[in-house]
Amino acid sequence: KAGVTQTPRYLIKTRGQQVTLSCSPISGHRSVSWYQQTPGQGLQFLFEYFSETQRNKGNFPGRFSGRQFSNSRSEMNVSTLELGDSALYLCASSPRERTSGGYNEQFFGPGTRLTVL
Amino acid sequence: GIQVEQSPPDLILQEGANSTLRCNFSDSVNNLQWFHQNPWGQLINLFYIPSGTKQNGRLSATTVATERYSLLYISSSQTTDSGVYFCAVGRSTGGFKTIFGAGTRLFVKA
């Protein structure tokens, strides 16, 4: 099976702009989670989507949003970018089917490195 | 929320040495994974181990869920083992929220 793919891999934006990142999960996986990684805060959970519904959310402002489509692909959007939003954004997919061994195991994509100038 | 502590924060080893990395968590979990992050940022799955013991080559892991800790063992370390090792835990009650530890940065010298 193909792994988790994320596009674009690198992105440079300026303050005040908005950005949309895309994630395609492993075929058959229905859960997609998003994480932000920065040197100061480490890896932080943003949100999880399952069957097109947001199931859980981390402690991030409303500028961070996401959605999931019927084919399980997910996008996250950051509006009104700030310098502190510069980070590696990671997407993870998981089966979340209880009939699957290790149904909660997450598999990560290569990430999108966002730089805000 | 759940707190995750990893130790040691940094570790320098001579090639061929063994090491143990520890992950303590503050509440019951039903999901625990160990990852290795390579220099390009990719998180590589090492173990999915909410409980019990697993081995994969030179690596093994043990989780004692009742005592809220997990250990990752690296034997006969190689320079390619260098990188950051993360422990991630979570509870899938309703939603699915994973908390990462701060990581252990490992450097293996030739």
B96 with A104: Cβ contact below 8 A: yes
Does residue A73 register a pLDDT over 90?
yes
Instruction: Select from A44, A90, A105 the Cβ nearest to the Cβ of B33.
Output: A105
- pLDDT value at residue B90: 85
DSSP state string for chain A: ----EEE-SEEEE-TT--EEEEEEPPTT--EEEEEEEETTTEEEEEEEEETTEEEEE-S--TTEEEEE-TTS-EEEEE-S--GGG-EEEEEEEE---TTSTTTT--EE---EEEEE-
> Is the CB of residue B24 less than 8 Å from the CB of residue B49?
no
- pLDDT value at residue B26: 93
- pLDDT value at residue B24: 98
How far is it, in rounded angstroms, from Cα B36 to Cα B45? Answer: 7
Does residue A21 register a pLDDT over 80?
yes
- Strand duo A74-78 + B104-109: pairing: unpaired
User: Which of A37, A54, A55, A56 would best serve as a mutation to test chain B binding (most B beta carbons within 10 A)?
Assistant: A56
- pLDDT value at residue A1: 73
Does residue A25 register a pLDDT over 70?
yes
Percent above pLDDT 90 for chain A: 81
Does residue B8 register a pLDDT over 70?
yes
Q: Which residues pair with A105 in a beta bridge?
A: none
Lowest mean pLDDT among A9-23, A66-80, A91-105, B41-55: A91-105
Rg of chain A over all Cα atoms, to the nearest angstrom: 14
Does residue A99 register a pLDDT over 70?
no
How far is it, in rounded angstroms, from Cα A18 to Cα A14? Answer: 9
Chain B residues at the A interface, defined by Cβ less than 8 Å, are 30-31, 33, 35, 40-43, 45, 48, 50, 86, 88, 90, 92, 94-100, 102-103
Does residue A53 register a pLDDT over 60?
yes
- The pLDDT-based confidence of A63 (bands split at 50, 70, 90) is very high
The 10s digit of each residue's pLDDT in B44-59 is 999 999 999 999 999 9
Alpha-carbon distances of B57 from A52, A70, B73, rounded to whole Å = 38, 39, 11
A104 with B31: Cβ contact below 8 A: yes
The 10s digit of each residue's pLDDT in B14-41 is 999 999 999 999 988 888 999 999 988 9
- pLDDT value at residue A38: 96
Does residue B71 register a pLDDT over 90?
yes
A106 with B98: Cβ contact below 8 A: yes
Neighbours of A102 (CB within 10 A): 14
The 10s digit of each residue's pLDDT in A74-86 is 999 999 999 999 9
Q: Which residues pair with B52 in a beta bridge?
A: B63
The 10s digit of each residue's pLDDT in B72-97 is 999 999 999 999 999 999 876 655 67
Does residue A44 register a pLDDT over 70?
yes
- pLDDT value at residue A95: 83
How far is it, in rounded angstroms, from Cα B20 to Cα B71? Answer: 7
| Per-residue b or e along A52-67, where b marks 16 or more CB atoms closer than 10 Å to that residue's CB | eeebbebebeeebbbe
How far is it, in rounded angstroms, from Cα B66 to Cα B27? Answer: 10
